[in-house]
Amino acid sequence: MVSGSTNGAGDCPREPPAEACRRKESNQWLRRRLLQRQLHDGAALRISALTLRLGLLWHRSPPDGQAMQNCIDELQNELHTVLEELRDIAAKIYPPLLDEAGLGPALREVAHQLEAPITVVASGERFGAAAEGAAYFAVAQYLAALPAGAQPTKVMIRRDNDELMLSVSDINACHAELMDDQIWPLGGTVEMVDVVDGDRPGAATITVRIPCE
Protein backbone atom coordinates (compact mmCIF):
# COMPACT_ATOMS: atom_id res chain seq x y z
CA MET A 1 0.00 0.00 0.00
CA VAL A 2 1.39 3.40 -0.95
CA SER A 3 0.51 6.20 1.41
CA GLY A 4 1.88 9.66 1.94
CA SER A 5 1.57 13.27 1.13
CA THR A 6 2.44 13.08 -2.54
CA ASN A 7 -0.34 12.98 -5.04
CA GLY A 8 -0.40 10.38 -7.74
CA ALA A 9 1.00 7.16 -6.35
CA GLY A 10 -1.03 7.26 -3.16
CA ASP A 11 -4.49 7.89 -4.56
CA CYS A 12 -5.82 4.35 -4.37
CA PRO A 13 -4.44 2.52 -1.35
CA ARG A 14 -4.58 -1.22 -1.90
CA GLU A 15 -6.11 -3.66 0.50
CA PRO A 16 -3.52 -5.73 2.32
CA PRO A 17 -3.19 -9.19 0.74
CA ALA A 18 -4.99 -12.16 2.29
CA GLU A 19 -2.92 -14.35 4.62
CA ALA A 20 -2.93 -17.20 2.08
CA CYS A 21 -1.48 -14.89 -0.59
CA ARG A 22 1.24 -13.71 1.72
CA ARG A 23 2.18 -17.25 2.61
CA LYS A 24 2.31 -18.20 -1.05
CA GLU A 25 4.49 -15.22 -1.90
CA SER A 26 6.78 -15.96 1.01
CA ASN A 27 7.16 -19.55 -0.16
CA GLN A 28 8.13 -18.33 -3.63
CA TRP A 29 11.12 -16.54 -2.13
CA LEU A 30 12.10 -19.56 -0.09
CA ARG A 31 11.93 -21.66 -3.24
CA ARG A 32 14.15 -19.21 -5.09
CA ARG A 33 16.74 -19.30 -2.36
CA LEU A 34 16.60 -23.09 -2.36
CA LEU A 35 17.17 -23.23 -6.13
CA GLN A 36 20.18 -20.97 -5.81
CA ARG A 37 21.62 -23.16 -3.07
CA GLN A 38 20.93 -26.27 -5.11
CA LEU A 39 22.94 -24.81 -7.99
CA HIS A 40 25.80 -24.06 -5.60
CA ASP A 41 25.84 -27.29 -3.62
CA GLY A 42 25.04 -29.52 -6.57
CA ALA A 43 26.14 -28.76 -10.10
CA ALA A 44 28.65 -26.04 -9.24
CA LEU A 45 30.47 -28.10 -6.63
CA ARG A 46 30.64 -31.11 -8.96
CA ILE A 47 32.08 -28.99 -11.76
CA SER A 48 34.66 -27.46 -9.38
CA ALA A 49 35.66 -30.95 -8.28
CA LEU A 50 36.03 -31.94 -11.95
CA THR A 51 38.68 -29.26 -12.43
CA LEU A 52 40.66 -30.93 -9.61
CA ARG A 53 40.43 -34.31 -11.37
CA LEU A 54 41.66 -32.66 -14.57
CA GLY A 55 44.54 -31.15 -12.60
CA LEU A 56 45.52 -34.62 -11.49
CA LEU A 57 45.42 -35.81 -15.10
CA TRP A 58 47.59 -32.84 -16.10
CA HIS A 59 50.09 -33.73 -13.39
CA ARG A 60 50.23 -37.36 -14.51
CA SER A 61 50.58 -36.60 -18.21
CA PRO A 62 53.84 -37.82 -19.80
CA PRO A 63 56.86 -35.46 -19.80
CA ASP A 64 56.41 -34.84 -23.54
CA GLY A 65 52.67 -34.32 -23.10
CA GLN A 66 52.57 -30.58 -23.82
CA ALA A 67 49.67 -30.96 -26.27
CA MET A 68 47.66 -32.91 -23.71
CA GLN A 69 48.44 -30.37 -20.99
CA ASN A 70 47.28 -27.53 -23.24
CA CYS A 71 44.10 -29.44 -23.93
CA ILE A 72 43.50 -29.90 -20.18
CA ASP A 73 44.15 -26.18 -19.57
CA GLU A 74 41.50 -25.38 -22.16
CA LEU A 75 39.02 -27.77 -20.56
CA GLN A 76 39.62 -26.19 -17.16
CA ASN A 77 39.07 -22.71 -18.59
CA GLU A 78 35.89 -23.90 -20.24
CA LEU A 79 34.62 -25.27 -16.91
CA HIS A 80 35.39 -21.90 -15.30
CA THR A 81 33.25 -20.23 -17.98
CA VAL A 82 30.42 -22.70 -17.33
CA LEU A 83 30.63 -21.92 -13.61
CA GLU A 84 30.58 -18.16 -14.29
CA GLU A 85 27.38 -18.65 -16.27
CA LEU A 86 25.84 -20.71 -13.47
CA ARG A 87 26.83 -17.97 -10.99
CA ASP A 88 25.14 -15.40 -13.17
CA ILE A 89 21.94 -17.44 -13.20
CA ALA A 90 22.13 -18.08 -9.45
CA ALA A 91 22.49 -14.32 -8.81
CA LYS A 92 19.37 -13.60 -10.84
CA ILE A 93 17.37 -16.21 -8.94
CA TYR A 94 18.56 -15.14 -5.50
CA PRO A 95 21.94 -13.41 -5.01
CA PRO A 96 24.25 -15.69 -2.99
CA LEU A 97 25.70 -12.68 -1.18
CA LEU A 98 22.17 -11.68 -0.11
CA ASP A 99 21.64 -15.21 1.21
CA GLU A 100 24.97 -15.38 3.00
CA ALA A 101 25.67 -11.84 4.16
CA GLY A 102 22.31 -10.03 4.03
CA LEU A 103 20.71 -6.96 2.54
CA GLY A 104 23.41 -4.40 3.43
CA PRO A 105 26.38 -6.14 1.76
CA ALA A 106 24.26 -7.24 -1.23
CA LEU A 107 22.93 -3.73 -1.95
CA ARG A 108 26.36 -2.23 -1.33
CA GLU A 109 27.69 -4.52 -4.05
CA VAL A 110 24.96 -3.25 -6.41
CA ALA A 111 25.71 0.38 -5.50
CA HIS A 112 29.40 -0.22 -6.10
CA GLN A 113 28.72 -1.05 -9.75
CA LEU A 114 26.59 1.99 -10.53
CA GLU A 115 27.46 5.46 -11.73
CA ALA A 116 25.00 7.26 -9.47
CA PRO A 117 26.24 8.29 -5.99
CA ILE A 118 24.65 5.81 -3.56
CA THR A 119 25.36 5.14 0.10
CA VAL A 120 24.03 2.07 1.90
CA VAL A 121 23.74 2.11 5.68
CA ALA A 122 22.75 -1.21 7.25
CA SER A 123 22.89 -2.66 10.73
CA GLY A 124 23.81 -6.18 9.67
CA GLU A 125 20.59 -7.69 11.06
CA ARG A 126 18.87 -10.46 9.11
CA PHE A 127 15.19 -10.43 8.13
CA GLY A 128 14.46 -13.78 6.47
CA ALA A 129 14.64 -14.90 2.84
CA ALA A 130 11.30 -13.46 1.70
CA ALA A 131 11.60 -9.91 3.10
CA GLU A 132 15.25 -9.64 2.09
CA GLY A 133 14.59 -10.99 -1.40
CA ALA A 134 11.66 -8.68 -2.12
CA ALA A 135 13.45 -5.63 -0.69
CA TYR A 136 16.63 -6.41 -2.61
CA PHE A 137 15.03 -6.73 -6.01
CA ALA A 138 12.74 -3.72 -5.47
CA VAL A 139 15.61 -1.43 -4.45
CA ALA A 140 18.22 -2.84 -6.85
CA GLN A 141 15.85 -2.25 -9.77
CA TYR A 142 15.30 1.34 -8.66
CA LEU A 143 19.01 2.05 -8.11
CA ALA A 144 19.94 0.57 -11.48
CA ALA A 145 17.59 3.04 -13.18
CA LEU A 146 19.24 6.10 -11.57
CA PRO A 147 21.10 8.31 -14.05
CA ALA A 148 24.81 8.99 -13.49
CA GLY A 149 24.20 12.60 -12.48
CA ALA A 150 21.46 11.82 -9.95
CA GLN A 151 21.29 13.43 -6.50
CA PRO A 152 23.19 11.41 -3.88
CA THR A 153 20.92 8.61 -2.69
CA LYS A 154 21.04 7.08 0.75
CA VAL A 155 19.57 3.66 1.49
CA MET A 156 19.03 2.88 5.17
CA ILE A 157 18.11 -0.57 6.44
CA ARG A 158 17.08 -1.50 9.96
CA ARG A 159 14.64 -3.54 12.00
CA ASP A 160 11.56 -1.95 13.56
CA ASN A 161 9.95 -4.59 15.80
CA ASP A 162 8.88 -7.38 13.45
CA GLU A 163 9.29 -5.34 10.31
CA LEU A 164 12.15 -4.77 7.92
CA MET A 165 12.30 -0.98 7.54
CA LEU A 166 14.12 0.40 4.55
CA SER A 167 14.25 4.03 3.51
CA VAL A 168 15.50 5.51 0.27
CA SER A 169 16.24 9.23 0.16
CA ASP A 170 15.69 11.51 -2.78
CA ILE A 171 13.66 9.09 -4.74
CA ASN A 172 11.30 10.28 -7.43
CA ALA A 173 7.75 9.67 -6.23
CA CYS A 174 6.71 7.83 -9.38
CA HIS A 175 8.97 4.92 -8.36
CA ALA A 176 6.90 4.25 -5.27
CA GLU A 177 4.29 2.36 -7.22
CA LEU A 178 6.88 0.06 -8.82
CA MET A 179 8.28 -0.77 -5.41
CA ASP A 180 4.83 -1.28 -4.01
CA ASP A 181 4.12 -3.92 -6.67
CA GLN A 182 7.01 -5.98 -5.34
CA ILE A 183 6.45 -5.35 -1.64
CA TRP A 184 2.67 -5.54 -1.41
CA PRO A 185 2.25 -9.32 -1.92
CA LEU A 186 4.24 -9.88 1.30
CA GLY A 187 1.99 -7.48 3.22
CA GLY A 188 4.51 -4.64 2.90
CA THR A 189 3.78 -0.94 2.68
CA VAL A 190 5.44 2.02 1.01
CA GLU A 191 5.21 5.43 2.62
CA MET A 192 6.40 8.71 1.13
CA VAL A 193 7.44 11.98 2.71
CA ASP A 194 8.01 14.90 0.36
CA VAL A 195 11.35 16.63 0.30
CA VAL A 196 10.68 20.33 0.82
CA ASP A 197 12.85 21.73 -1.93
CA GLY A 198 11.54 24.01 -4.64
CA ASP A 199 14.34 22.96 -6.97
CA ARG A 200 13.38 19.31 -6.91
CA PRO A 201 9.62 18.94 -7.26
CA GLY A 202 8.43 15.36 -6.82
CA ALA A 203 11.44 14.29 -4.75
CA ALA A 204 10.57 12.27 -1.66
CA THR A 205 11.93 9.92 0.95
CA ILE A 206 10.34 6.51 0.68
CA THR A 207 10.03 4.19 3.63
CA VAL A 208 9.33 0.55 2.87
CA ARG A 209 8.10 -1.75 5.62
CA ILE A 210 7.91 -5.49 5.19
CA PRO A 211 6.80 -7.96 7.88
CA CYS A 212 9.68 -10.34 8.54
CA GLU A 213 10.81 -13.32 10.57
Chain residues that interact with another protein, rule: CB under 8 A:
40-41, 44-56, 58-60, 73, 76, 79-80, 83, 87, 96-97, 100-101, 105, 108-109, 112-117, 119-121, 148
Q: Which amino acid is at 44?
A: A
CB of 99 to another protein, least distance (A): 8
**Contact (Cβ atoms closer than 8 angstroms) between residue 205 and residue 193:** yes
CB of 109 to another protein, least distance (A): 6
Q: Which residue lies nearer to another protein by CB, 3 or 76?
A: 76
**Contact (Cβ atoms closer than 8 angstroms) between residue 108 and residue 97:** no
**Contact (Cβ atoms closer than 8 angstroms) between residue 187 and residue 210:** yes
Q: Which residue lies nearer to another protein by CB, 81 or 161?
A: 81
Half-sphere exposure of 105 (CA within 13 A, CB side): 11
Surface-to-core class of residue 193, CB atoms within 10 Å of its CB (0-12 exposed, 13-18 middle, 19+ buried): middle
CB of 148 to another protein, least distance (A): 7
Helix (H, G, I), strand (E, B) or coil at 200: coil
CB of 16 to another protein, least distance (A): 32
Q: Which residue lies nearer to another protein by CB, 86 or 178?
A: 86
Q: Which residue lies nearer to another protein by CB, 51 or 141?
A: 51
